[in-house]
Structure 1
Amino acid sequence: MWREDKQFERWMEQANQPFTGWDFSYLVETGRMNSDCLRWSYGSMAMPLMQDAKSMLDMGTGGGELLSMLRPWPKFVCATEGYRPNLSVAKERLEPLGVTVLSVEDDDRLPFETGQFDLVLNKHESYSPREVRRVLTVGGYFLTQQPGGTDCFEINERLGVPLNSAFAKWKLDAAIRGVREYHFEVEKQSEQFLRQRFYDVGPLIYYLKAIPWQIPDFEVDKYREELYSIHLHIEQQGYFEVTQHRFYLLAKALA
């Protein structure tokens, strides 16, 4: 029983800390969680686009961790964040550097002028292709990397929670159809399924707190028995392996 497993209880206590920003180095750099390498680099694609742009929007900036490292920036840079706990973190990190950081909760209503940006970046953030096209100049670029609809489905299976039926259809083909409908030309794209491993149950809990859409009602106490089952699996196997679903597209705004 988990009540008699002191190590399991220690993992529970260590994982019971608030998650802010979008920084998994606490888990990755200690080797407690890792993933296979993607065939592409979001940062290596973003930086040349930034160098050719005069204005840029970073959608879903998290705590501004990635944006703060993607330098040099265009002359005018804005960032949005929809998750309230991250907003103050992003403002504190980015606003002293000259970035305008705004809260956005409705993908269909971005608080920007039509044609305001030469470049829109979006890593793992929801978006409306119509609204992205509206805020882009003709000839501007939209680069997005997305988690696909079957991302880490093994977690849902072990916790007994079905995947969101609407989100389950989210994949590269659907994203391409969406941007083409709003006058984009897709110049580059790729999709990949890769392994992600958790080497103790603590990082899994930390991860689920950071991505509440995976298990919308996730609470440690509610799923303690299922988490203990995964803990025992890790004790035997050495890790708990899931399948990441990732894709990206680079699209140019047409007239």
Structure 2
Amino acid sequence: MPDTHRTPAPAHRGTFDDLVAEGAAVPTAGWDFSWFEGRATEARPSWGYATAMAARLAGATAALDIQTGGGEVLDFALAHVEPKAPVLAVATEGWPPNVAKATALLRPRGVAVVAAPEDAPLPFADEAFDLVTSRHPVSPDWPEIARVLRPGGTYFAQHVGARSAVELVDHFLGPRPDEQSGAARLPERERAGAEAAGLEIVDLRSERLRMEFYDIAAVVHFLRKVVWMVPDFTVEKYEPQLRSLHERIEAEGPFVAHSTRHLFDARKPHPA
């Protein structure tokens, strides 16, 4: 979503039904969040992932971007690579609309986009890449990441952390046990998973960031786009929660939640 450093436009006005219909009609393919301009904001982590990713790509010879979405982040990073892009650049994506969008966006940059389910082994040979990246993977498959990395290679990624946007999710689902609210995404648990696969953690950072939703259309589109937040979300099923949240925003102003982000920098060690 747009950065909170930008000045938000006034909330869009309309009836509950009009706003819900608007949010339900916006296409959800890719990771372009420009539609949220003036309707929702989210603070950005201090490390600037896309720019930092560009610096890593400049030093790579063979790079793989996992779960690339519509390819927007990789496209930005490649556009800012200095002095040169990797000789080989590949991306994977599992959702067919995103595969098509990423292919159209990344093909002009020489990137091969491979359709690969998120829960399947990576369709590449052992030790094929010296850099693996990912922005917001659903669930990192540490053994597969370690397998396709060359010794000395790096996994550089930004993950969604535990209890991200929990205030919003709890409004729809109610308070949940830790395991259902993303405790598996706690940084120390992810560290343990990476280390169990044989990776060494070079850097691991975590930040909690403010989000604001200015109208119910933004909430509807967000939950349709980021499908793991409320996995069974439909406007019809959650109409009472949507209506009560609309009334709250109308009476009190923007709804505030908080996202959680981790920066992972891990290395595959050389054999002893």
TM-score (norm 1): 0.92
Answer whether contact 2:184 2:190 (CA < 8 A) is retained. Answer: no
Report how many residues are paired: 249
Find 2:201's aligned residue among 186, 206, 214. Answer: 186
Residue 63 of structure 1 aligns to a residue whose secondary structure is: coil
Q: 1:202: which partner in 2?
A: 217
Find 1:140's aligned residue among 153, 159, 182. Answer: 153
Answer whether contact 2:60 2:86 (CA < 8 A) is retained. Answer: yes
Deviation (angstroms), 1:95: 2.0
Deviation (angstroms), 1:88: 0.9
Deviation (angstroms), 1:64: 0.8
Separation of aligned partners in 2, 1:170 and 1:189: 13
Answer whether contact 1:199 1:238 (CA < 8 A) is retained. Answer: yes
Separation of aligned partners in 1, 2:164 and 2:118: 23
Find 1:170's aligned residue among 180, 185, 193. Answer: 185
Q: Does 1:76 align with 2:91?
A: no
Q: 1:253: which partner in 2?
A: 268
Find 1:7's aligned residue among 12, 15, 20. Answer: 15
Q: Relative to 1, partners in 2 of residues 1:21 and 1:106: Cα closer, same or farther, differing over 3 Å?
A: closer
Deviation (angstroms), 1:82: 1.4
**Equivalent runs, 1:91-106 vs 2, <5 Å:** 91-106=103-118
Gaps of 5+ in 2: 1-12
Q: Relative to 1, partners in 2 of residues 1:138 and 1:242: Cα closer, same or farther, differing over 3 Å?
A: same
Residue identity (%) = 31
Q: 1:122: which partner in 2?
A: 134
Answer whether contact 2:93 2:118 (CA < 8 A) is retained. Answer: no
| RMSD after superposition | 1.7
Deviation (angstroms), 1:156: 2.2
Find 1:52's aligned residue among 54, 59, 65. Answer: 59
Answer whether contact 1:186 1:252 (CA < 8 A) is retained. Answer: yes
Runs of 4+ off more than 3 Å = 161-164
Find 1:152's aligned residue among 149, 161, 165. Answer: 165
Answer whether contact 1:107 1:131 (CA < 8 A) is retained. Answer: no
Gaps of 5+ in 1: none
Separation of aligned partners in 1, 2:120 and 2:234: 30
Separation of aligned partners in 2, 1:6 and 1:40: 38
Separation of aligned partners in 1, 2:146 and 2:236: 43
Separation of aligned partners in 2, 1:214 and 1:160: 10
Q: Relative to 1, partners in 2 of residues 1:51 and 1:6: Cα closer, same or farther, differing over 3 Å?
A: closer
Answer whether contact 1:53 1:118 (CA < 8 A) is retained. Answer: yes
TM-score (norm 2): 0.87
Separation of aligned partners in 2, 1:58 and 1:168: 25
Q: 2:123: which partner in 1?
A: 111
Separation of aligned partners in 1, 2:28 and 2:44: 24
Residue 243 of structure 2 aligns to a residue whose secondary structure is: helix
Deviation (angstroms), 1:141: 0.6
Answer whether contact 2:57 2:86 (CA < 8 A) is retained. Answer: yes
Residue 117 of structure 2 aligns to a residue whose secondary structure is: coil
**Letter in structure 2 aligned against 1:24:** F
